[in-house]
Structure 1
Amino acid sequence: MASGDEEKGKVDLLEDNRIDSGIDSFKSLTKDEHYSKPTQELNPDDGDAKDKLDSVTEERNDSAYTSSSITVDNITVILKSCLTPGSDDTENAETHNDHKEQEVNPLTTITDDGDTILHLAIIHEAVDFADQLIKLFPKEILNLQNNLYQTPLHLATYLDLPPVVRRLVERGASLALQDHDGNTPLHVACEQGRGECASEMTRDIPPSQLILVLEAQNWRGITCLHLATLRRRHRLMKVLIKKGAYLNAQEGTSGKTPLHMAVELHDVTAVTLLLNKGANVDAAMFNGCTPLHLAVGRQDATIANLLCHSGADQMIRNMEDETALDLADGNDDILALFPFDDIQISGRSVVGVNF
């Protein structure tokens, strides 16, 4: 049994080697035991790790929700089954069972924030160590979510670690699990502009599986294509569209399609891309507004012209019974797009006809 001084030394050693990554304390998987430092040191740059993870680790929620049947109680059993009989790890596990005073294996430890050692290795960008853990752990643990519902794949994507993303995907890590904002790892890639990570996640995935991820909406009803459009990630938009993203998906708040969002942002490049790929130029929001309504309402003659040349119906009325022309508000450049002098009789124009 360790003495009081020895216990204090362990605590001091642990505190000295922590970095500020949102990790407050450790809890063992069994009661009345102590956390043991991993034999392999994680040596991140303290400042970089903190800056990169400010939005990942702040305001953690105390939740027991996980992505599978893995729990604090059975993770040790699962890991033991992965170890080769007769190995040092197995012998250590047996010795641990015989001697309750012995420290718990850090591989089977979960922090108060719900992070496994794999989460921590990725947080500290210890790529080689993370690679070894990915080889060791079964798929169920690769998909374990922390208290923010982030899997290791979420964190590897956020921190822009394509080799770790590739290894996780190869080992069967789920692309469909959602974090506390409802974002899948692919949502994170689109929001943060992690193009290489997105490529690794979509490269060899069967279309039948990938389409479910592409159509997944976060808690705001936003798909990956919506996010890429909102963040002006044009290259990512091309990747998603090539992989089969639905061009006319409506977000859950107001029914905007990616084309509506591109128009609102005055993003001519995105509007042109979406139109060229076949987006519905007359898609209506929940209030009946088409992209042309939005372009005219924002006095954007350039995009209004693009939409008209792509066949936009200028006479569609929204829920307020307004056409796009009603929103022109005297803008001559926009008014010039509308044929309000095409008086016809029996289908023939009478403009310029002398009566």
Structure 2
Amino acid sequence: MASDDCRKDDLLEDCRTDSGIDSYRSILKSEEPREPSADFSGPRDKFATGEERLDSAYGSASITVESLTEIVGDCTLSSAKEEQAHISELSEQEENLLTTITEDGDTILHLAIIHEEELIAQQLIQLFPKEVLDIQNNLYQSPLHLATYLNLTDVVKGLVEKGVSLELQDQDGNTALHVACQHGQTECATEMTREISPSKLAPVLETQNWRGLACLHLAALNRQHQIIGILTNKGADLNIQEGTSGKTALHLAVELHDITSVKLLLNRGANADAAMFNGCTPLHLAVGRQDAAIANLLCQSGADTMLRNMEDETALDLADGNDDILALFPFDDIQISGRSVVGMKF
């Protein structure tokens, strides 16, 4: 028989908790507010509702470490070996308690992660089947999304080892790996890619959020050099185009004047002549931004100086009298009608 501690009818009534990452902003009634363990301005602001809500538990009591522990109680496992046997012994009431979903779509696992109770979260990961671990709340955040936002690497590892889906997208179209790339959660990104087969990881790397950005684009936009290395080592398409203007990660790095990312991407084999939807290459962008250092790097990597965009402009046309830029275009490279100027008779 499972413990009577798990049988709490009152905990099943009036479920009302903060959904997802918003609950991190709430004020706990019975404990002092805690500061986030990492820079949390991104996701917190992103999901701000403009309202401060109390973190109410199952029923009228506030959720605290103690109440979470009490809810889990003896329903957690003493060892992995006992998992199947223990689950079969759970009463229907206990199963309902552990799988109850609040009005905001959160399971008890979501709540444990939100409150950074890693031990409880790990116990629940072992207890729950994969289908429960993949439940998304009203913001379409899975437990993996939340653990990544909060940089709970061990929880991310536990979820990945249990086989949760990496392809689930939140309300902005981001997978958990997108979140890691955007917020620089390098260890979480490592755990999400370490033991994953290329065939299983490829769809995640190709997924674009609702802004048309793949994981590599977000890593480049946020200057996450280590994560760029992780993604390229795992077979990310270096030349994948974002959905709005057709920029590759190399275009984005050039726009940011991020020479470190430019070098990294070129060294990994990024196409220096990749064209946006308007025909602009990374060299067009570098010259247009008067960035002689990056323009030089692109030329050294074999960028074609004579490619024309949809405005029929070459990179040289955009130099605008910049001597440092013009020095990159020796006269013997200038062509007329496809023929080199050098040696031509006028």
| 1:212 and 2:203 are equivalent in the alignment | yes
Match of 1:48 in 2: 35
Question: 1:252 is matched with which residue: 232, 243, 249?
Answer: 243
Asked whether the 8 Å contact 2:144–2:156 carries over to 1, the reply is yes
Change (3 A) 1:118 1:86: closer
Alpha-carbon shift at residue 84 of structure 1 (Å): 3.8
Asked whether the 8 Å contact 1:134–1:167 carries over to 2, the reply is yes
Match of 1:349 in 2: 342
Asked whether the 8 Å contact 2:280–2:308 carries over to 1, the reply is yes
Match of 1:230 in 2: 221
Change (3 A) 1:194 1:327: same
Change (3 A) 1:176 1:45: farther
Task: After TM superposition, list the pairs within 5 Å mapping 1:62-101 onto structure 2.
Answer: 84=86, 87=89, 89-90=90-91, 92=93
C-alpha RMSD over aligned residues:
3.6
| 1:267 and 2:258 are equivalent in the alignment | yes
| TM value normalised by structure 2 | 0.76
Change (3 A) 1:339 1:273: same
| 1:326 and 2:325 are equivalent in the alignment | no
CA-to-aligned-CA distance 1:34-69 (integer Å, 9 cap, x gap): xxxxxxx99986232598462465339xxxxxxxxx
Match of 1:28 in 2: none
Match of 1:36 in 2: none
In structure 2, how many angstroms separate the alpha carbons of the residues matched to 1:343 and 1:287? 23
SS state of the match for residue 247, structure 2? Answer: coil
2:48 aligned partner, one-letter code: E
> Unpaired runs of 5+ in structure 2?
1-9, 51-74, 76-82
Q: Tell me which structure has the larger Cα radius of gyration.
A: 1
CA-to-aligned-CA distance 1:195-243 (integer Å, 9 cap, x gap): 1111111011111101111111111111111111110000110010000
Asked whether the 8 Å contact 1:226–1:258 carries over to 2, the reply is yes
Asked whether the 8 Å contact 2:220–2:261 carries over to 1, the reply is yes
Asked whether the 8 Å contact 2:113–2:146 carries over to 1, the reply is yes
Asked whether the 8 Å contact 1:84–1:90 carries over to 2, the reply is no
Asked whether the 8 Å contact 2:168–2:175 carries over to 1, the reply is yes
Change (3 A) 1:344 1:46: closer
Change (3 A) 1:289 1:109: same
Match of 1:173 in 2: 164
Change (3 A) 1:230 1:116: same
Task: After TM superposition, list the pairs within 5 Å mapping 1:16-27 onto structure 2.
Answer: 22=22
CA-to-aligned-CA distance 1:290-311 (integer Å, 9 cap, x gap): 0010000000000111111111
1:90 aligned partner, one-letter code: S
Change (3 A) 1:296 1:49: closer
Asked whether the 8 Å contact 1:42–1:124 carries over to 2, the reply is no
2:303 aligned partner, one-letter code: A
Alpha-carbon shift at residue 105 of structure 1 (Å): 5.2
| TM value normalised by structure 1 | 0.74
Change (3 A) 1:305 1:133: same
Match of 1:3 in 2: none
SS state of the match for residue 331, structure 2? Answer: coil
Task: After TM superposition, list the pairs within 5 Å mapping 1:122-161 onto structure 2.
Answer: 122-161=113-152
Identity %: 63
> Unpaired runs of 5+ in structure 1?
1-8, 25-40, 61-78, 94-103
In structure 1, how many angstroms separate the alpha carbons of the residues matched to 2:283 and 2:210? 28
Asked whether the 8 Å contact 1:282–1:290 carries over to 2, the reply is yes
Match of 2:233 in 1: 242
